[in-house]
Amino acid sequence: MLAYANPQRFLRLARALTPWTVAASVLLLATGLFLPLFVAPPDYQQGHAARIMYVHVPAAWMALFVYVAMAVASAVAFIWKHPLADIAAKASAPIGATFTALALVTGSLWGQPMWGTWWVWDARLTSVLILFFLYLGYMVLWGAIEEPTRAARAARILVLVGVVNIPIIHFSVDLWSTLHQGASVFRLGGPTIRTAEMLVPLLVMALAYNVFYVAVLLIRMRVEVSRRRLRTIRLGLELAPA
């Protein structure tokens, strides 16, 4: 980790990895969409409406994963003062917000025919909505404070305080009465999805989302590093004697 604390060294690595991660994400996303539409059978109870699961479930996983990654990066920035940690957290926020919004929207599209309503204020849905607001608040905080050091410190605190919402989301279906179903893949008794034609497409889409996250993260981090270097150059020119 410390080997790539140098932004220039990181930029060289990111430039080398970006084309490969972009290509891999496109291929995996195409495969992840093809398999549920043309290979996976309809659910015996939900019929073809269950196909939205292949978009919704991995998006919900990524919503939590990206926020945890932001919290880890923020902790690293606090403890070790890693120069790229705040950049990684800042670059992750819009990606995580997008996955969270996708999970909320696709969940509503699934919930209407299954539950008869677009939205219910149960523990799982409400806590995910709070997660979405945490992402938005984090991005607004960065934009509201002009001084980068103060903005980074405030953003770190928000992320680390908000991380308490992650276990609430995860255990909400076990702790409270909710319409939302429990875990069906990552559980102690093994996946409840026993059919490979349904489980494999779900895992492929999850992998596609992860690779997509890495690809977009690298691009956004490169842009942010370049923006900060440009800002430093401009400040140097402004302070230079005439």
Per-residue H/E/C for 22-62: HHHHHHHHHHHHHHHHHCCCCECCCEHHHHHHHHHHHHHHH
- The percent of residues in the chain predicted with pLDDT above 70, rounded, is 84
Three-state secondary structure call for residue 1: coil
86 vs 155: CA distance, rounded Å: 9
Residue 19 pLDDT: 97
All residue ranges of the chain with pLDDT < 70 are 1-5, 44-45, 47, 49, 176-194, 235-242
Residue 16 pLDDT: 95
Domain extents in the chain: 20-189+201-230
Taking only the tens place, the pLDDT of each residue in 139-155 is: 999 999 988 899 999 99
146 vs 223: CA distance, rounded Å: 18
Residue 153 pLDDT: 95
Smallest CA-to-CA distance from 158 within 133, 131, 137 is with 137
Residue 241 pLDDT: 64
Tokens of 235: 């400040």
Q: Are 170 and 64 in contact (CB under 8 A)?
A: yes
Taking only the tens place, the pLDDT of each residue in 49-77 is: 678 889 999 999 999 999 999 999 999 99
Give CATH for domain 20-189+201-230: 1.20.120
Q: Are 173 and 181 in contact (CB under 8 A)?
A: yes
